A and B are shown apart, each in its own frame.
Chain A
Amino acid sequence: MTPALRASDLHVSLGGREVLRGIDLSLSAARWTAVVGPNGAGKTTMLKALAHLLPARGGVEMLGRVAWTDRERARRLAWLGQNESGAEDLRAHDVVMLGRLPHQPWLGGASAEDQAIVEDAMRQTQCWDWRLRPLGQLSGGERQRVLLARALAVRAPLLLMDEPLANLDPPHQADWLAIVRRHVAAGGTAVSVLHELNMALHADELVVMDQGRIAHHGACADPATHEALREVFARRVRVHALAGQWVALPDAVED
């Protein structure tokens, strides 16, 4: 089966510093992959390189093809960035409608289908009620739900999210989990950089990064993956089974 995304020997330098040092990665379709690793491991950079958002050396193949036009790629890959600021003066509904941009003719305006998709996305993330409010008037979590709806409104088979849980309270984290599960169940592919290991361990696969390289790529349930996690976090976390879930807990501090 064609992988949804495949990177071969991917290098990225930012400000003269090599941030990604040769990434080889193949992500299968209809799976949710979480990218984890310590601060500065290159997680965000790798996600951006996979989404074609920054100049990189090496190849990235999406759905088995390297060359896509900007618009064709934009219809197939939706991006949710970290701490997207700005757009304070745009109404939530207008922001979510931006997700339809790759599907609309230039200046063509929104079709009835666009309207329906935007409403569906906003109801999924429960932000339909404040669709008329400007983004600047929303709290951090409310804003994040609008931005997630914006990414969902693209209706792209590939959904790449960088720290999508920022500012979300636990019930809305659970909602996010359900949204990702639905996306994957419908044949979509999700890739998310996650700081919170316990959420990441809900994923199908884990990509563990360290110092610009992939330290391990495997199923979340695999003990080898747990060991790799422990390794990159300076042997200070351990994965336990608890109530049918995997949880990563810090080791007790020894006196």
Chain B
Amino acid sequence: MPLARDEAVDRATRSPLAVGLVLIAVTALLLAVGTAVGSLGWEPLWGGADTARAILWEIRLPRSLGAWLAGALLGLAGAVAQGLFRNPLADPYLLGSATGAAFGVAMMLVLIGVAPMAADGWVARLGLTGAGFAGAVGAVLVTLALARGVQHTLRLLLAGVIVGMVFGALSALVMFWVPDILRSMQSFLLGTTGFLGWGSVGLLGVLLAVSVLVAIGFSPALDALALGESTAISLGIPLSKVRVGLVGVMALATGAAVAQVGLIAFIGLLAPHLVRAAVKPTHRWLLPLAALAGGVLLLAADVLARWLLAPQELPVGALTSLLGGGYLLWLMHRRPL
């Protein structure tokens, strides 16, 4: 019996691999554009002198790669959050982990007393990433405790909003008492890719590889969880272990990204939605594809932020908020949630 050829089936039969290859191609293209856009707009510098090559290799390339990696971590964290909490609106930020990470970074800035991401050396970087990570895990745990588990999605989102506000207020208080960190915190809160060097790229790359592998390891559990907790348990899924592992991945990915590039909004929410608009895969595919889409989104936003008003540079986080908000509005208009 022939299948009805309709949009849903077409979308469902589209190959996840093809979507992945398209995203990789777009990534390569954006990396090329990203290294060709400088502080004055389009200035390729390919095949130039030593200084030009230095700018290319020591500034533009690590920055572009870092932006892509941070976006990928956020996209992955968003896909994990949406699967784990069984809520298409869950993202790392709605659960308070990003504001928790911001608070952790603020506290670390006060403690080590250096300009944030300009600080070089692995110790400072691991310190900031570690603080971001600790803050993110702490905030998610507080949210889970307030919501008494992940059963009630409404309570969960409410708890996340409350925790986000409280940690935001705590960060504000820290900034009020220690105004020295104000400038560093501002670039952090608006999101910036300007301080990404090869060290950050290495760190983000390793963390992305680990997070993607662990998350894919839990992907059958996420698929089963989509049918509800009872069904997942009945299929032999060790739910509490899965939750601990996935919340850990989420917090690690968000904390690492936020510690390196600051608060970048909407990537985590948007990336999985974009993937699902193109293809209907199981989590084994959705997770890496959401990471790829997140990387593409943030790298594209970064290139735009540097290019649009060059030589002036827009805060990339503000740009992703505008674009992401616009996309969600359009989505709501087209298809009531």
Chain B associates with chain A:
yes
> Which A residues lie at the B interface, using CB under 8 A?
48, 51-53, 69-75, 77-79, 81, 84-87, 89-91, 94-95, 98-99, 101-102, 104, 106-107, 129-130, 132-134, 137, 147, 150, 154
CB of B219 to closest CB in A, whole Å: 8
**Beyond A74-B234, A81-B227, A99-B235, 5 extra complex contacts between A and B, CB < 8 Å:** A69-B236, A70-B233, A73-B236, A86-B86, A132-B3
CB of A109 to closest CB in B, whole Å: 9
Q: Which of A53, A91, A101 contacts B280 (CB 8 A)?
A: A91
CB of B155 to closest CB in A, whole Å: 14
Q: Which of B9, B223, B234, B284 contacts A133 (CB 8 A)?
A: B9
Report the interface size for chain B: residues with CB under 8 A from the other chain: 29
User: Within 8 Å CB of B13, what residues of A?
Assistant: 132
B228 at the interface (CB under 8 A from A): yes
A98 touching B280 in the complex, CB below 8 Å, given contacts A79-B231, A129-B3: no
Q: Which of A79, A98, A137 contacts B223 (CB 8 A)?
A: A98
> Quick check: B235 and A134 within 8 Å, CB to CB?
no
A85 to B230, CA, bound (A): 12
Q: Which of A89, A102, A133, A134 contacts B236 (CB 8 A)?
A: A102
A70 touching B236 in the complex, CB below 8 Å, given contacts A90-B280, A134-B280: yes
User: Within 8 Å CB of B231, what residues of A?
Assistant: 79, 81, 84, 98, 150
CB of A146 to closest CB in B, whole Å: 10
* Chain B positions 210 through 227: 1 when the CB is less than 8 Å from some CB of chain A, otherwise 0: 000000110110011011
Quick one: closest B residue to A134, CB to CB? B280
User: Within 8 Å CB of A87, what residues of B?
Assistant: 223, 226-227
User: Within 8 Å CB of A98, what residues of B?
Assistant: 220, 223-224, 227, 231, 235
CB of A234 to closest CB in B, whole Å: 30
* Chain B positions 1 through 16: 1 when the CB is less than 8 Å from some CB of chain A, otherwise 0: 1010000110111000
> Quick check: B227 and A84 within 8 Å, CB to CB?
yes
A51 to B12, CA, bound (A): 33
> Quick check: B8 and A107 within 8 Å, CB to CB?
no
Q: Which of B226, B230, B238 contacts A90 (CB 8 A)?
A: B226
CB of B317 to closest CB in A, whole Å: 28
Quick one: closest A residue to B228, CB to CB? A84
CB of B246 to closest CB in A, whole Å: 15
A129 to B3, CA, bound (A): 7
CB of B184 to closest CB in A, whole Å: 40
B237 at the interface (CB under 8 A from A): yes
Quick one: closest B residue to A162, CB to CB? B230
> Quick check: A137 and B234 within 8 Å, CB to CB?
no
> Quick check: B224 and A85 within 8 Å, CB to CB?
no
A48 to B229, CA, bound (A): 12
A-B pairs, 6 with minimum CB distance? A74-B236, A79-B234, A87-B226, A71-B236, A70-B236, A102-B236
A81 touching B8 in the complex, CB below 8 Å, given contacts A70-B236, A94-B282, A106-B220: no
Within 8 A of A (CB), among B111-154: none
CB of B11 to closest CB in A, whole Å: 8
Quick one: closest B residue to A109, CB to CB? B284
A69 to B219, CA, bound (A): 21
CB of B206 to closest CB in A, whole Å: 22
* Chain B positions 190 through 224: 1 when the CB is less than 8 Å from some CB of chain A, otherwise 0: 00000000000000000000000000110110011
17 contacts between A and B (CB under 8 A): A70-B236, A74-B236, A77-B234, A79-B230, A81-B228, A81-B231, A86-B227, A87-B227, A89-B276, A89-B280, A90-B223, A98-B235, A101-B235, A102-B235, A106-B217, A134-B8, A154-B235
> Quick check: A70 and B12 within 8 Å, CB to CB?
no
Quick one: closest A residue to B284, CB to CB? A107
User: Within 8 Å CB of A72, what residues of B?
Assistant: 236
CB of A80 to closest CB in B, whole Å: 8
> Quick check: B230 and A132 within 8 Å, CB to CB?
no
User: Within 8 Å CB of A78, what residues of B?
Assistant: 234
A101 touching B86 in the complex, CB below 8 Å, given contacts A77-B234, A79-B234, A133-B9: no
A71 to B238, CA, bound (A): 9
A73 to B235, CA, bound (A): 8
A85 to B225, CA, bound (A): 11
> Quick check: B12 and A132 within 8 Å, CB to CB?
yes
